[in-house]
Amino acid sequence: MRGAEERMSTRIAYFPGCSLEGTAQEYNLSLQAIAPKLGLELEELEDWNCCGSTAAHTLNHKLAVSLPARILALAERGGYSSLVAPCAACSHRLLATRMALANNAGLRKEVQDIIEMPYKGTVEVKNILQVLMELGPDKIAAACSRKMTGLRIASYYGCLLVRPPKVVQFDDPEAPQSMDTIIKALGGTPVEWGFKTECCGGGFSMSRTDMVCKMTRDILDNAAFEGAEAFAVACPMCQSNLDLRQLNVNQRYGTAFKLPALYITQWIGLCMGLPARDLGLGGNYVDTGDAVAKAFAVPPEKKPPALSAAGAAVKA
Amino acid sequence: MTQAAAKGHKDSSLQSLVEELTGEKLSACYQCGKCSAGCPAAYAMDRLPHQIIRLIQLNQRDKVLNSHAIWLCASCQTCTTRCPKDVDLARIMDALRELALQEGRTAQESDAVVFQQVFLNWVRRTGRQFEGGLVGEYKLRTGHFFQDLGAAPKMMGKLKMIPRGIKGRQAVQRIFRKCEGPKNA
C-alpha cells in the first residue's frame, strides 16, 4: 500500500508535444536516452492533443485555455501529480492555462463543459530544466562518464521558459542561471552574455523569415562577440531558429557564424558517452562535429609532454 | 464605469472592450515606453507597443486594429515582464488580434495570419500538429512555394508525411466547435 503511494508520487506524466514528434525529434530522442540514466521515469500521456501553441492564443483565447486544459485533465485522470513538457511553448501554455483556471471559477466551469472532462488543477507542470535542476547538477554529473574540456557554451533560454515570471515561476526572467549551472557541472564554460532571453522570433520562422533572421542575427552576434563556441537550448523553436535560420542569416547578412545549437539533453547525453547518432546530432543544420570534438578533446595538460619537454625527459 | 459601458459592445470604447476581454487596466499605462524599448520586434512595427496602448486610450479603433504591429508581436512576454504598472501587454495584443480577426482585418500581415490558421486547422482535424501538412498547406495558401527549398532534404527526414489522428480527435473537434461557435459567447 505504502509502496503504491510512493510510486504514485514519483510518476511523471510526459507530454512530448507536436514538435518533438517532428522537427524537434532530437530533443525527444536525447531526453529518452538520458532519462533512464538519471532515474527519470517518464510515462507518455495517453492520447495527448496539441496545446494550441501561439496560434491558439493569438486567434482564440477560449481555445488557448481549452486545449491545454484537456491535456491537464488527462494527466489528472491518469493519477499524475506532475507533468513535464520539454517544449517551452507547451510548458508555457500549460502553465498559463493552469493559472487562468485557478484564478477564475467561472472560466474553470466553462472550460470543463468545453472539454467534457473534470478539471481540478492538481497537476504540477514543469519544464525540462526544472526537472533537471530538481535532480541537481551533481547527480547529473555523477551519471556522466566524461566531462567537457571547457568548451565555451552560451545557454540560450529564449522567452517562454522564464517569462512572464508570474506565470512560469522559474529561474530569473532577465538573467537565468539554471542551464549555465548544468553546463558548468558537465565541464563546459558558461558564457556570460546579454542575449540569453532575447526573443528569436519564434513562430514567425515561416511567415516573417526576415524578422526571424534579424532577431536571430542579433543573438548570434552577441554570442559570438562574447566568445561562445556553441549553444545549449531547451526549446524547439529556439533550436530551429538558431540552427536552421543561422544558414539564412549567413546568406542574408554575409556573416560566417558557425555556432551549433544543441539541446541541453544532447549535451548531457554526450557527457554520458552516448553515441551522437542516438542523440540525434545528425539532425542539426550547422555542423556539430568540430564543437563536439573540441568539447571532448584531451586537454593539453593531460597530453603526453610536448616534444621539447619529451626530449629533455629522454636525456635525463 | 467602464464595466457598465462594456456591457453594450456597440457604443463602448475600445479600451473598455479590451479591458473586459483581458481583465487588464489600460488606464494604468502612463506611457513610459519601457515596453517599446525592450520589444525585439519593435524595429519592424508601424506603431510601437506603448503607442498602441495610447491609441486604445484615445479610442482610435482603426489605427489599432489595422496596424501591422498587433500581428508582429511575437508574444515574447518581455513587455509584460518589465511593465512598471503591471499591464499585461502581451495579453492585450492577443485580444487585439482576436478582435481584428473577428472583423476580418487581417490583410496587413496576411501570411502570419494564414500560418496560425493553417496551424489550428491541422489540430482541429487530427488533434495534433502535422508539420508536413502545415508547411505544405501554408505554401499553397500563400504562394510561397520556393521558400526553404535548401533545407528540404534534411527537413523531409524529420517531418511526418502522413497525419495520424489521435483517438480523442472528435473530442478535440468538439472543443473547437464550442470555442469558435457562431459567436464567442
Rounded alpha-carbon distances, angstroms, from residue A37 to A148, A268, A281 = 18, 10, 19
Q: Which residue of A has its CA nearest to B169?
A: A49
Residue A76 near residue A124 (C-beta atoms within 8 A): no
Q: Return the ∠ at Cα A306 (arms to A303 and A310), rounded to 5°.
A: 110
Q: Return the CATH architecture of domain A2-128.
A: Up-down Bundle (1.20)
Q: Return the ∠ at Cα A206 (arms to A15 and A210), rounded to 5°.
A: 130
Cβ of A52 within 8 Å of Cβ of B123? The answer is: yes
pLDDT band at A302 (very low <50, low <70, confident <90, very high): low
- For a pLDDT cut of 90, what percent of chain A falls above it? 87
Residue B101 near residue A39 (C-beta atoms within 8 A): no
Q: Which residues contact B37 (CB under 8 A, 6 or more apart)?
A: none
Q: Which fold has domain B2-105?
A: Fumarate Reductase Iron-sulfur Protein; Chain B, domain 2 (1.10.1060)
CA-atom Rg of chain A in angstroms: 21
Alpha-carbon gap, residue A86 to A31, rounded angstroms? 9
Helical ranges in A35-87 per DSSP H: 53-59, 61-77
The DSSP bridge pattern shows strands A82-84 and A152-156 to be unpaired
pLDDT at residue A315 is higher than 90: no
pLDDT band at A306 (very low <50, low <70, confident <90, very high): low
Sheet holding A124-126, edge to edge: A42-44, A12-14, A82-84, A124-126
A304: helix, strand or coil = coil
User: What is the model's pLDDT at position A6?
Assistant: 44
Alpha-carbon gap, residue A163 to A174, rounded angstroms? 9
Residue B92 near residue B24 (C-beta atoms within 8 A): yes
Å between A85 CA and nearest CA of chain B: 15
Q: Which residue of B has its CA nearest to A69?
A: B175
Regions of chain B where pLDDT drops below 70: 1-11, 182-185
Answer whether A63 touches B (CB < 8 Å). yes
Å between B11 CA and nearest CA of chain A: 23
CA A90 to chain centre: 11
Residue A277: count other Cβ atoms within 10 Å of its Cβ: 9
- Which of the 8 DSSP states describes residue A80? -
| Residue A105, C-alpha cell as written in the block | 471559477
Burial class (CB in 10 A: 0-12, 13-18, 19+), A2: exposed
Q: Which of A25, A50, A170 to mutate to test the interface with B (most CBs of B within 10 A)?
A: A50
Residue A20 one-letter amino acid: L
Higher-pLDDT residue of B152 and A89 is: A89
User: What is the model's pLDDT at position B159?
Assistant: 79
Q: Which fold has domain A135-300?
A: Rossmann fold (3.40.50)
Q: Return the ∠ at Cα A265 (arms to A260 and A271), rounded to 5°.
A: 85
The interface predicted TM-score of the complex, written ipTM, equals 0.89
Inter-axis angle of helices A264-271 and A25-34, nearest 10: 40
User: What is the model's pLDDT at position A316?
Assistant: 39
Residue A288 one-letter amino acid: T
Residue A98 one-letter amino acid: R
Alpha-carbon gap, residue A151 to A297, rounded angstroms? 10
- Location of C-alpha cell 489599432: B64
pLDDT at residue A9 is higher than 80: no
User: What is the model's pLDDT at position B132?
Assistant: 86
Report how many Cβ contacts below 8 Å link chain A to chain B: 173
Which whole number is the average pLDDT over A15-23? 94
Inter-axis angle of helices B169-180 and A61-77, nearest 10: 150
The DSSP bridge pattern shows strands A261-263 and A42-44 to be unpaired
Bond into A236 cis (ω within 30):
no
pLDDT tens digits, residue range A196-229? 999 999 989 989 999 999 999 999 999 999 999 9
pLDDT at residue A80 is higher than 50: yes
User: What is the model's pLDDT at position B158?
Assistant: 80
Inter-axis angle of helices B89-102 and B49-57, nearest 10: 60
Sequence ranges of chain B with CATH classification 1.10.1060.10 = 2-105
User: What is the model's pLDDT at position A313?
Assistant: 45
Burial class (CB in 10 A: 0-12, 13-18, 19+), A67: buried
Which whole number is the average pLDDT over A236-255? 96
Q: Which residue of B has its CA nearest to A60?
A: B98
pLDDT at residue A241 is higher than 50: yes
Q: Return the ∠ at Cα A207 (arms to A205 and A208), rounded to 5°.
A: 70
Rounded alpha-carbon distances, angstroms, from residue A254 to A248, A288, B82 = 10, 21, 34
Alpha-carbon gap, residue B161 to B130, rounded angstroms? 8
A276: helix, strand or coil = helix
pLDDT at residue A5 is higher than 50: no
Cβ of B88 within 8 Å of Cβ of A165? The answer is: no
Adjacent-strand bridge partners of A190? A153
pTM: 0.91
Q: Which of A60, A66, A212 to mutate to test the interface with B (most CBs of B within 10 A)?
A: A60
Residue B25: count other Cβ atoms within 10 Å of its Cβ: 14
User: What is the model's pLDDT at position A308?
Assistant: 53
User: What is the model's pLDDT at position A236?
Assistant: 96
Rounded alpha-carbon distances, angstroms, from residue B99 to B47, B62, B104 = 18, 11, 9
Alpha-carbon gap, residue A244 to B135, rounded angstroms? 15
The domain limits of chain A are: 2-128, 135-300
pLDDT tens digits, residue range A91-109? 999 999 999 999 999 999 9
Which whole number is the average pLDDT over A100-120? 97
pLDDT at residue A254 is higher than 80: yes
Alpha-carbon gap, residue B136 to B154, rounded angstroms? 16
Q: Return the ∠ at Cα A172 (arms to A292 and A195), rounded to 5°.
A: 50
Residue A69 near residue A110 (C-beta atoms within 8 A): no
Q: What letters, b where the CB count within 10 A reaches 16 and e where it falls short, cover A103-118? A: eeeebbebbbebbebe
Cβ of A58 within 8 Å of Cβ of B135? The answer is: no
Answer whether A194 touches B (CB < 8 Å). no
Which whole number is the average pLDDT over A79-97? 97
pLDDT at residue A311 is higher than 60: no
The domains spanning A2-128 and A135-300 adopt the same CATH topology: no
- Which of the 8 DSSP states describes residue B80? H
pLDDT tens digits, residue range B103-146? 999 988 999 999 999 999 999 999 999 888 888 888 889 988 88
Alpha-carbon gap, residue A48 to B168, rounded angstroms? 8
